[in-house]
């Protein structure tokens, strides 16, 4: 029988030893990855790529992730999650060093693919391990707090990316990313191993795709399409407008996340997912309209705040829904299913946006990106009863297991 990391008994508090370790591992990973995301299209542009090709390069990491998701879900549910996480981070560090050696667009594309392959395992592992450490009654708050590790990375990485770029150039900046990823490995090794018998590794559809998580995966796809347009084209767009210090956008976005996410988690636990996600989606759509009419840094910063209230709230809420809709033994498959949706969105969003930019210009592209957000609203309203049923069943099962 195989084993994996799992907490046998639910902890009493969120900030237990293992949660702290996985939180800081996730923070280090996101700090490195956000630098890569910030500079990917800019570096492709520097190497002579067109807008559509730059979008293809940006989305290539999601292509690598999507391919490996078909293995990562079953693997995370069957094998030792901590060991998988450490190995995947070694691969991610190799991708970072690959960036530094890339001198042409095809080489950069391959490094992005390798990054995505590693992230197929790191993201799924981190989410599954974090979920194992949380008390059920504080799930919404716990996932919200866990997602703040990503916000912390977003708060510092884009500004540092552009600062290091000016100071050291592309190559050394990517080397620093690799070193930060190696630091994450050291932190991950502090996670204690909990041994629990589980099913053997089997490569079959039910172990790859959790049908219970299809709705969260579709939502992730749509909101991921929209958000990846910001991370892939905002820096280039602001530069074309002559707006300097656009890295502050990501800092304001992330600081807003750090302030609001604990409250979003509490609101989710108190009022349910549906009542939280609908206003969040409206804020997210408003952010794209504001970007489309922005001509100064101040206007971009207002859009950053709206985006943080929007996508910043939607992402952990959907992750909470994803983890609630399956038993603990299938959290790897559920997380993988959700991230498959996010990967597809990350592939399609920048490519479609790049085509729109070349055909219609940036302003119309930003407004067209509101469409998948409105489609998400329709899905939430249509499936609101199903979502509420998932939340009720999760709490009932947690109470039964504790007794």
Residue 8 binned pLDDT confidence (cut-offs 50, 70, 90)? very low
Q: Give the per-residue pLDDT at 328.
A: 67
For residue range 349-399, list pLDDT tens digits in order: 888 888 888 888 888 999 999 999 999 999 999 988 888 887 777 766 555
- Please report, rounded to a whole number, the percentage of residues in the chain having pLDDT higher than 90: 19
How many angstroms separate the most distant Cα atoms in the chain? 62
Q: Is the pLDDT of residue 5 over 70?
A: no
Q: Is the pLDDT of residue 215 over 80?
A: yes
The alpha carbon dihedral of 18, 196, 69, 121 has a sign of positive
**DSSP code of residue 14:** S
One of 3.40.50.300, 1.20.1250.20, 3.30.70.100, 3.40.50.720 is the CATH number of 14-193+211-402, namely 1.20.1250.20
What's the CA dihedral at 216, 219, 220, 223 to 10 degrees? -160
For residue range 53-73, list pLDDT tens digits in order: 887 887 787 778 778 877 776
CA pair distance 133, 7, nearest whole angstrom: 6
Structure tokens at 160: 């540092």
Structure tokens at 171: 């190559």
CA pair distance 352, 224, nearest whole angstrom: 13
* Whether 225 contacts 132, CB under 8 Å: no
Residue 1 binned pLDDT confidence (cut-offs 50, 70, 90)? very low
CA pair distance 145, 67, nearest whole angstrom: 29
* Whether 98 contacts 114, CB under 8 Å: yes
What is the arithmetic mean of pLDDT over 272-276? 83
Q: Collapse the DSSP code of 48 into the 3-class scheme (helix H, G, I; strand E, B; otherwise coil) and give the result.
A: coil
Q: Collapse the DSSP code of 23 into the 3-class scheme (helix H, G, I; strand E, B; otherwise coil) and give the result.
A: helix
pLDDT greater at residue 108 or residue 190: 108
Q: Give the per-residue pLDDT at 10.
A: 53
Question: How far is C-alpha 82 from the geometric centre of its chain's CA atoms?
Answer: 19
Q: Give the per-residue pLDDT at 155.
A: 67
Q: Is the pLDDT of residue 16 over 90?
A: no
Residue 400 binned pLDDT confidence (cut-offs 50, 70, 90)? low
Q: Is 134 left (phi over 0), alpha (psi -120 to 50) or beta?
A: beta
Q: Is the pLDDT of residue 295 over 80?
A: yes
Burial class (CB in 10 A: 0-12, 13-18, 19+), 158: buried
Q: Collapse the DSSP code of 198 into the 3-class scheme (helix H, G, I; strand E, B; otherwise coil) and give the result.
A: strand
For residue range 218-273, list pLDDT tens digits in order: 998 999 889 888 877 888 888 888 888 887 888 788 788 777 777 777 777 778 78
pLDDT greater at residue 261 or residue 10: 261
Residue 49 has phi, psi (to 5 degrees) of -75, 150
What are the domain boundaries of the chain?
14-193+211-402
- Please report, rounded to a whole number, the percentage of residues in the chain having pLDDT higher than 70: 87
For residue range 197-206, list pLDDT tens digits in order: 455 556 566 6
Q: Give the per-residue pLDDT at 206.
A: 61
* Whether 43 contacts 160, CB under 8 Å: no
Structure tokens at 369: 């990106």
- Beta-bridge partners for 2: 198
* H or E element in which residue 309 lies: helix 297-324
CA pair distance 309, 201, nearest whole angstrom: 39
- Beta-bridge partners for 197: 3
């Amino acid at each position: 029988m195989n084993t994996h990391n799992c907490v046998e008994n639910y902890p009493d508090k969120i900030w237990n030893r293992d949660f702290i370790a996985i939180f800081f591992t996730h923070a280090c990973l996101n700090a490195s990855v956000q630098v890569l995301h910030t500079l990917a299209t800019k570096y492709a542009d520097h190497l002579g790529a067109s807008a559509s090709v730059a979008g293809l390069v940006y989305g290539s990491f999601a292509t690598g992730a999507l391919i490996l998701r078909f293995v990562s879900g079953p693997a995370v549910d069957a094998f030792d999650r901590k060991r998988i996480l450490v190995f995947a981070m070694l691969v991610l560090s190799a991708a970072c060093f690959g960036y530094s050696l890339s001198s042409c667009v095809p080489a950069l594309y391959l490094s992005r693919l390798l990054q995505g392959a590693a992230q197929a395992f790191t993201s799924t592992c981190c989410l599954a391990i974090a979920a194992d450490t949380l008390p059920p009654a504080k799930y919404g708050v716990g996932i919200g707090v866990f997602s703040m590790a990503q916000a912390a990375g977003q708060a510092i990485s884009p500004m540092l990316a552009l600062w290091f770029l000016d100071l050291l150039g592309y190559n050394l900046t990517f080397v620093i990313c690799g070193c930060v990823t190696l630091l994450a490995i050291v932190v991950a090794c502090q996670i204690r191993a909990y041994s629990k018998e589980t099913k053997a590794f089997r490569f079959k559809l039910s172990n790859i795709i959790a049908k219970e998580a299809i709705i969260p995966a579709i939502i992730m796809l749509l909101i991921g399409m929209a958000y990846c347009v910001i991370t892939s084209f905002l820096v280039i767009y602001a530069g074309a407008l002559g707006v300097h210090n656009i890295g502050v956008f990501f800092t304001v976005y992330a600081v807003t996340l750090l302030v609001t996410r604990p409250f979003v988690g509490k609101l989710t636990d108190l009022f349910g997912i549906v009542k939280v996600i609908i206003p969040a989606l409206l804020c997210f759509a408003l952010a794209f309209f504001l970007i489309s009419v922005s001509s100064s840094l101040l206007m971009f910063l207002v859009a950053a705040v709206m985006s943080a209230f929007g996508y910043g709230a939607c992402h952990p809420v959907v992750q909470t829904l994803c983890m609630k809709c399956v038993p603990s033994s299938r959290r790897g498959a559920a997380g993988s299913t959700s991230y498959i949706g996010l990967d597809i969105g990350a592939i399609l969003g920048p490519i479609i946006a790049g085509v729109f930019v070349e055909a219609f210009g940036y302003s119309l592209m930003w407004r067209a990106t509101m469409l998948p957000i409105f489609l998400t609203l329709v899905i939430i309203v249509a499936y609101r009863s199903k979502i509420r049923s998932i939340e009720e069943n999760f709490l009932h099962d947690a109470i039964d297991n504790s007794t």
